[in-house]
Amino acid sequence: MSLKKKEWLDKLRREGKVRDPTEDHRVGLIALQNKRRREMLNILIEGGLPLNEIAQRLGISE
């Protein structure tokens, strides 16, 4: 592992951002099973929209 990558991982661990990568992936994949969340993610990838436009596009209330 490169020194730069090791320093980056050490920083994440100190800040409490890396606990259990397997658990992080599991939670992320569970979240993406929801169709609305995937649609929201695609909207954000496209550049995002104001909240009211996202709600309207997805047919949900704010």
Would you list the domain boundaries of the chain? 1-31, 32-62
- CA 4 – CA 52 distance, rounded (Å): 42
DSSP state of 19: S
Per-residue pLDDT of the chain (62 residues; tens, 9 = 90+): 789 988 988 888 888 777 777 878 888 899 999 999 999 999 999 998 999 999 999 998 86
pTM of the model: 0.57
CA-CA-CA-CA torsion sign (47, 15, 9, 22):
negative
Measured from the Cβ of residue 3, the count of other Cβ atoms closer than 10 Å reads 7
